[in-house]
Amino acid sequence: MGMIFWIALGAVAGYAAILYNSLVSVKNGVSKAWANVDVLLKQRHDELPKLVDTCKQYMQHEQGTLEKVIQARARVAVARESRNVKTLGAAEGALRSGLGSLFAVAEGYPELKSNEQFLHLQSRISGLENALADRREFYNDSVNINNVRVEQFPELALARLFGFKTFELLKFEADELKDVDIGQRFKA
């Protein structure tokens, strides 16, 4: 009888260790996914001043559009630094809208559109936007896996005991999910 108790206790302890290690793995998966998003946000953050400076040389009458991009960039930086996913989503929406307006307004400046640095920066930022969309999806998948694991039984008991938590999904504003009205973009 004593041996059966110890075998059962060992089996329960082994199962608990496996569950704990699995929770650690999915939590670290979220951290890794966030780090991937963060790297791309930082790269784009570093490129935006170059784009604005290039545009300023040609777009003397579009300071409002340029200012919107600068302000949105600052809000994204603050949200990124604080790892506030909800605020980041809203700031990203404003930045994407500002960039869309900037690129639309740039259509009216033939010299700017043919500027090699502008074209390079536009291509670079567009590539970063696409990579960010992919990394955001990966981050949200990682968050979802983590959240399901820490909320389902029996992991729930260990998650509460050891302080594992859920994370917020990285969502963009509802405006980001709507179809883009190209005609509206050109009125900016």
Task: Please give the chain's pLDDT, 188 residues, in tens.
Answer: 789 989 998 998 999 899 999 999 999 999 999 999 999 989 988 888 888 888 877 777 677 888 888 888 898 989 888 888 888 888 888 888 888 888 888 888 888 878 888 888 888 888 998 898 899 999 999 999 999 999 999 888 889 989 999 998 888 765 544 444 434 433 44
CA distance 95 to 74: 9
Where do the domains of the chain lie, and which CATH numbers do they carry?
23-185 (1.20.1440.20)
Per-residue tokens: 77: 């930086």
Q: Which helix (H) or strand (E) holds 123?
A: helix 116-151
Q: What are phi and psi of 187, to 5 degrees?
A: -85, -10
